[in-house]
Chains A and B, each alone.
Chain A
């Protein structure tokens, strides 16, 4: 008890160690994970943050606009664990956990960090070029798991149904060989001046979509059946066929 008494009495004549907090603001320590700030300009809507968020605090709402898509991201701070996974997984550094810890509100709406990302979705499908070294980086980065790469067999394939065209793989590719190819022309068109009605195109068509009448000199294509494979164009001896916009 005597040592305690000594400390108590000596403390009596010392300055209190209390921080004068509300009067003087106290900065958080470096790397403190506080209020989330979201930069919509940088976001590519890959959805990785939503996937890695363990308390499911991030919600995405899609709003269709003439230019593309507007996606509203809402980070519910009353649901967040401030683990920082979304920040770590965001390739575009659109999410940052700031050192702002003043997260006190009487209305829960004040505790939602939100931002709008303007997304222009590429029209074409994802293709892999000839420079591919099958490093599998694209497959690893893909938030939807749409890409499959086999290193041994040297194959690359993408599931177009799963692909959201976010572009994460394109920027992750070390060889810069991934791209969204330009949209394919919609129909096969005939230049009737060059055509000799040889019926070669009709014979080569895997779907049997082309009908050619040599006698009546007519050429017809069933656009619904056509798969735009381009075999007819390749095989035309007179180069009378070509892709054209619908």
Chain B
């Protein structure tokens, strides 16, 4: 019997919280806030908060055109592959200190999973057979190389800080460590790493000024140029969910353990569901703040970079910031 309930519980974890439904709705609302606040920063009224949701539903109802030159199965499957990997990532990241599935080295799994949405974009773009997509794909690859290096160094710094010389890659353990020792960001040595992570997020999500791969004004949204209908909607949804996943990852890595005091004690079938709801809301609020800082504000005040500038920026400034943290942590500060 317990086996059966375990399966039900896992399905709920994967499909409702913190998986599919939570990640999707959270991502869409986050993207809506992003667009609204950018509009307000430009003294506009801006679209409603639900605008990305409307966009998704509208695209779902459009005709899907597959170009002659395209490889049909790959072309249509790519956005869904990216979406699934994002949902899997969401279940691995602790939401308010509560992670659905945890493992020994889930940070490394996340590092691999993070590349999949970008790879899906690359594969889908290449499969569409458009020269615009070709340019977009090459730029997406360079962007990926640019931000992967600082991201790995940030992960290493956190792992070294938490686990000492043995390196700790379990998010569950990192969270528990933060409950005991305070959030990672409260350690001075980690502030450059946090900054580096904040700079990696917009490139990972693909927002201005790091949207070189999807520059809609110069290369017609790059890899997405031939996409229409539901697959395009899925890519747009991926961007929204990626926003939520990346900000969640940031709060799990740097702001964990601040939910300590929340214990209402209300239980239903042995689950502290009220705690989970409150923590999820706080978690979402933190994600929102991180989004506003690292994506919305940056988007509002900058123009798109060139690809070589982006690459240079990530491999010098951002990697430098991450390395400072790593060195400081390594020498034990």
Contacts and interface: CB of A to CB of B under 8 A. Distances in A.
A16 B43 CA distance: 4
Given A1-B301, A1-B302, A4-B301, A12 B44 contact: no
A246 to B, nearest CB: 76
B48 to A, nearest CB: 14
A14 interface: yes
Interface in B14-56: 37, 39-46
A11 B45 contact: no
Contacts of A4: 300-302
A16 B41 contact: no
A16 B44 CA distance: 5
B41 A18 contact: no
A90 to B, nearest CB: 43
A5 B41 CA distance: 9
A138 B110 CA distance: 90
B228 interface: no
A25 interface: no
A14 B43 contact: yes
A77 B69 CA distance: 44
A11 B301 CA distance: 12
Interface residues of A, number: 11
A9 interface: yes
A8 B300 CA distance: 7
B102 interface: no
Interface residues of B, number: 13
A18 B36 CA distance: 14
A14 B39 CA distance: 12
B44 A8 contact: no
B45 A18 contact: yes
Given A5-B297, A8-B297, A11-B40, A16 B45 contact: yes
A123 B301 CA distance: 76
A24 B46 CA distance: 18
Nearest to A17: B43
Contacts of B43: 11, 14, 16-18
A11 B302 contact: no
B41 A8 contact: yes
Given A1-B302, A4-B301, A5-B301, A12 B37 contact: yes
A1 B313 CA distance: 16
Nearest to A13: B40
Nearest to A2: B301
Given A1-B301, A1-B302, A18 B37 contact: no
A11 B297 contact: no
A14 B40 CA distance: 8
Interface string B179-190: 000000000000
Nearest to B42: A11
A183 B301 CA distance: 81
Please name the 5 residue pairs, one residue from A and one from B, whose CB atoms are nearest each other, closest first: A4-B301, A8-B41, A8-B300, A18-B45, A17-B43
23 contacts: A1-B301, A5-B297, A8-B41, A8-B297, A8-B301, A9-B41, A11-B40, A11-B41, A11-B42, A11-B43, A12-B37, A12-B41, A14-B43, A16-B39, A16-B40, A16-B43, A16-B44, A16-B45, A16-B46, A17-B43, A18-B43, A18-B44, A18-B45
Interface of A: 1, 4-5, 8-9, 11-12, 14, 16-18
Given A8-B300, A12-B41, 9 more contacts: A9-B297, A11-B41, A11-B42, A12-B37, A14-B43, A16-B45, A17-B43, A18-B43, A18-B45
